[in-house]
A and B are shown apart, each in its own frame.
Chain A
Amino acid sequence: MALCDALPTLLCKFPAIDDGTIRVVRKTIDESFKALVRSYANVIDVVVAPLQWFLNLLERSFTGAPWILVLAILLAFVFAASRSWRITLGAAVAMLAIGLLGLWNDTMITLAIVTVSTLLAVLIGIPIGIVMARSDRAQRIVNPVLDVMQTMPSFVYLIPVVMIFGIGKVPGLIAVVIYAVPPMIRLTNLGIRLVDKEVLEAADAFGSSPWQKLKNVQIPLALPTIMAGINQTIMMALAMVVVASMVGVGGLGRNVLQAINNQFFTIGFLNGFALVGIAIIFDRASQAYGRRLQKHSEVVHG
């Protein structure tokens, strides 16, 4: 390069820290992380055990129960949420097609993990969102963390998850929750912050305590936005179960992974479509529920 000849080497070839130093740093961090994990192995087991138990319970009930019963319960849920025969019928058709294609069992396994991870994400996300809404400082701290969580490639944080929790269903579950929780937190925070100032003032004027204000005004008025968060969380969990199959989560995701490895075009797409099917069912049902919640918030008269 002619240009490089004219420049000192320092400005031409980037002066990276030398490999030796990086290797030492890397080794130190990895080793100390591993040591940390080893010393907390007991604690980690205690944390993991209830998750394992709950996930297994749900998976066994979903796969063990007669399909007709599971289908009936699922459709009842969809109808209760959406109050729409069209959406319920669509769900029935999608589930029957999945069954006919021999994917019922795998779908049940996937449904179990998506259910548990969504519940966890809601349980973790709503309180954090509430804290963020109450304090600008908390918001300033949590927001960049969420930014990193949402932009970091999901494969990358599989690494510490596997290092801490090993390979298996629960590590997969934890990875899914980490991936799916940010929209829950963000939309809870947003929903509470958007609550009408006048209504909040009215609650204050009548002498509401902070808890009464949260329970009677902020959460109910933020609920449509929180529902949108739950909807996004479900969608992200469904996307992440495929990636999580790399650390041992079963179900539709694993089939997709195998199809990638073996170039099984048809199997890959069938499983993919099964995931799309349940995604659409959840999406339509939860959106319809959100719209029903919002019914009375819309201003009809001036």
Chain B
Amino acid sequence: MASHAIEIRNLYKIFGARGADHVEAVRAGMSKTELNATHNHVLGLKDINISMPAGGVMVVMGLSGSGKSTLIRHINRLIEPTSGEVLYDGVDICRMSELDLREFRRHKTAMVFQKFALLPHRTILENTCYGLEIQGVPGMERRRRAMEWIERVGLSGFENRYPNQLSGGMQQRVGLARALTNDAEILLMDEAYSALDPLIRVDMQTVLLDLQKELKKTVVFITHDLDEALRLGDKIAILRDGEVIQQGSGQDIVRYPADAYIAAFVKEVNRGRVLRVETVMTPLSGPVEGPAIPAGTVLEAAARDLSSAGASVAHVVDPAGLPLGRLDLHALVGAMVTESTEAREAAA
């Protein structure tokens, strides 16, 4: 099973009876407020172009009402687009026939929901089996496969309970197990962790990261929380009023926020725990100095290493031990405590 990239191209969604009639106006620059006021239609998504990395975690971030749920629902076409394409493995999901779409949903995608959306009258095991049952997998086999995932998400012993006998965090583990049991290449998670308490949330993020190391699915993860986005995302897209206002790696977004809106978001981030050494290192010039710090180390940890070594300069090395760049304590501390000049310019 190799996961592929998801390509979203020129995607528009306008809610209302005659959405298609207003695409041109929106393309020409009509705003969400204006569209609503003059035509009584709601702009859901405007000209979305994202390529979601194969086998990686794509995070879509934005405030409530920015169109995140609308966007993720186009990938399994729970919402019909007004215009545009969603390509997976060379096929436009938006043009699939009813039957092809059902097969695509059964075998290629699985989804985790914000409010869990478990079947209350079924046990944890029966809920976890659901996707396989729909596919027509025989009872014995689907129970065996479901049990594996129930174990993996740490719910052994609970398989005969009912959802309402479990806490929210445990219910979402069931949601995750149900999705993973489907063995699909695409995993869609719509604010899957937003309803959970902060500690449980971090727990569940770890569960996802651990699983993803081995599964390498194409994950689309929706959140309104930047810390969560930075922790999980290989790539992040930020939505506002149905438009993508910035996309790139978490490092890029924290260091070079595209506008004041994103800068305001990023200000609250603990940069020392997010930015990695390779983002602030400078090219090697002259001899290698100081302790070796592996690429991928966050700044806070690097600062700790530097100070315990009593050094003011270190060098960054790749997994093979080859030097990649020079890290200087001054620049490191600077990146941890201040916004970059680019951001200040953008904010001004």
Contact = CB atoms under 8 A, between A and B. Distances in A.
B285 interface: no
B165 interface: yes
Nearest to A196: B117
B115 A205 contact: no
B166 interface: yes
Contacts of A198: 113-115, 117
A218 B167 CA distance: 25
B164 A204 contact: no
A217 B120 CA distance: 10
Interface in B69-111: 76, 78, 102-107, 109-111
B75 to A, nearest CB: 10
B165 A206 contact: no
A204 B78 contact: yes
A197 to B, nearest CB: 9
B77 to A, nearest CB: 9
A201 B113 contact: yes
Contacts of B182: 206
B78 A296 contact: no
Given A205-B105, A209-B102, A221 B120 contact: yes
B168 to A, nearest CB: 6
A301 B164 contact: yes
A217 B130 CA distance: 11
A298 B76 CA distance: 30
Residue among B78, B104, B164, B165 facing the most chain A CB atoms (10 A cut-off): B164
Residue among B134, B163, B165 facing the most chain A CB atoms (10 A cut-off): B134
Nearest to A217: B119
B211 to A, nearest CB: 19
Contacts of B78: 201, 204-205
Contacts of A212: 134
B113 A206 contact: no
A206 B136 CA distance: 12
Interface in B101-157: 102-107, 109-111, 113-115, 117-121, 130-131, 133-135
A208 to B, nearest CB: 5
A54 B95 CA distance: 53
A298 B130 contact: no
B69 to A, nearest CB: 10
Contacts, number: 74
A198 B114 CA distance: 9
Given A201-B113, A299-B164, A300-B165, A206 B121 contact: no
A143 interface: no
Contact of A300 (B105, B107, B134, B164): B164
Given A209-B102, A298-B164, A302-B168, A202 B134 contact: no
Contacts of A204: 78, 105
Contacts of B106: 206-207
Contacts of B171: 301
A201 B117 contact: yes
Given A199-B119, A297-B121, A206 B164 contact: no
A198 B163 CA distance: 15
B164 A296 contact: yes
A212 B110 CA distance: 17
A217 B76 CA distance: 20
B158 interface: no
B162 interface: yes
Contacts of B102: 207, 209
A202 B119 CA distance: 9
A220 interface: yes
A216 interface: yes
Given A299-B164, A301-B167, A205 B119 contact: no
Nearest to A298: B164
Nearest to B135: A207
A297 B163 CA distance: 9
A79 B135 CA distance: 38
Given A296-B162, A301-B166, A205 B120 contact: no
A223 to B, nearest CB: 8
A14 B165 CA distance: 68
A297 B134 CA distance: 22
Interface string A25-61: 0000000000000000000000000000000000000
Contacts of B107: 207
A300 B165 CA distance: 7
Given A217-B119, A300-B164, A300-B165, A202 B111 contact: yes
Contacts of B105: 204-207
- 5 smallest CB-CB distances across A and B, nearest first, come from A207-B106, A207-B105, A202-B117, A205-B111, A198-B117
Interface of A: 196, 198-199, 201-202, 204-209, 212, 216-217, 220-221, 223, 293, 296-302
